[in-house]
Amino acid sequence: RMVAMADRNGTDVVLGRVEGVNRKPPTSMWGQTLERTDVFSSNIKFTLSAQKLFRRAFLERHSMRFDESLWTGEDALFTMEAYLRADGVSVIADHTCYYLVGREDGKHVTRTGSHTLRFDSARALMNLIADMVPAGASRDALMVRPFLVTLLPQFGPKFLKDGEAIRREKLELAKPLMDAYWTGEVAHRLRVHERLRLQLVAMGRPDLLVEVLEFLKAKKTPKTVLEKGGRRVYFAYPFFREPSAGLPDALYLAEPREAREVPGYREVGVDQLLRRAVRKARRVLTPAG
């Protein structure tokens, strides 16, 4: 089935639907079968394991191999490069092609080893993306993956259990990555609590980060603040509009996908945005008097 898909479309990579056994695989990319797509037009960046069909001639042409210097994340590096070099990617979403079986003892390589290994894999993937994709919206869209999947968990619940030395080391390891690749566009693509945590990492504020993590650990729900007639929704996580923290409101502003859950939210449609743009243009272009 996967070979037939590749032959029919001339694609270099084929993703077959994965079903988990004793573990949960990514699911966001299986919304529909896609005869031909790419990493920018789909959600395939969130499945970078190597259980896929790769055209052998394509791999040989680009001399693609696993990076054996990485203890973990070498499959993500390989697969992302394949996505970026491929002449098309196909997705089979309506038929299970692979069963991802979890070990009974739970000791997968991705769940063992030091935190430094996670930073190694995040750094390698970010550098690969930066090398292959020019700076801009397309690069930022891909950077979401290593920030969200690899880096953010290092600043989650476990951070509360880390000693001061480990916390400092994590922030030191994160700093060059945040300085190089953390942008407003990447932040815009994340949920509020994800964006807030990573921004505090970028700012080197573990004191504030710990309070945010304690809030999340307690499973508290942030208050919502609606403004502009319901067109803006802020999630008031810790330090929202606290002058002493100096955090901008934009960090707490929910994007539509998150704001839609809030009663009273009014989403601005494309037509409304266009009308506003036209009115603004008229004001600018109309001569005074």
> What pLDDT, in 10s, does the model give residues 91-121?
999 999 999 888 776 565 566 668 999 999 9
Q: What is the reported pLDDT for 112?
A: 60
Q: Tell me the residue type at 240.
A: F
Highest mean pLDDT among 55-59, 108-112, 278-282: 55-59
Cα–Cα distance measured from residue 5 to residue 15, given in angstroms and rounded to the nearest whole number: 10
Contact by Cβ (8 Å): 65, 14: no
How much is the pTM? 0.87
The pLDDT of residue 106:
58
Going from the C-alpha of 73 to that of each of 15, 252, 266, the distances in angstroms are 18, 31, 41
Window from 84-88, 102-106, 194-198, 281-285 with minimum mean pLDDT: 281-285
Dist. CA 168–CA 163, nearest whole Å: 9
DSSP code, position 105 = T
- Return mean pLDDT, the chain: 91
Edge-to-edge strand ranges of the sheet holding 34-37? 34-37, 89-101, 13-21, 53-54
Q: What is the pLDDT of residue 54?
A: 98
Mean pLDDT of 170-189: 97
Token pair belonging to 289: 């008097």
Q: Are 47 and 100 in contact (CB under 8 A)?
A: no
Q: 284 pLDDT band (50/70/90 cuts)?
A: very low
**Vertex 114, ends 110 and 117: CA angle to 5°?**
65
User: For residue 228, is pLDDT > 90?
Assistant: yes
Distance CA 158, CA 138 (A): 31
Q: What is the pLDDT of residues 36-52, one digit of tens each?
A: 999 999 999 999 999 99
236, 250 Cβ separation under 8 angstroms: no
Give Cα 3 to chain centroid, integer Å. 29
Residue 278 has pLDDT above 70, yes or no: no
Question: Tell me: the pLDDT tens digits for 131-163?
Answer: 999 999 999 999 999 999 999 999 999 999 999
d(CA 91, CA 34): 5
Question: Given pLDDT bands bounded at 50, 70 and 90, which one contains residue 280?
Answer: low
Q: Is the pLDDT of residue 60 over 60?
A: yes
Q: Across-strand partners of 21?
A: 101
268-278 in b/e form (b: 16+ CB < 10 A) is eeeeeeeeeee
The pLDDT of residue 119 = 97
pLDDT at residue 286 tops 50: no
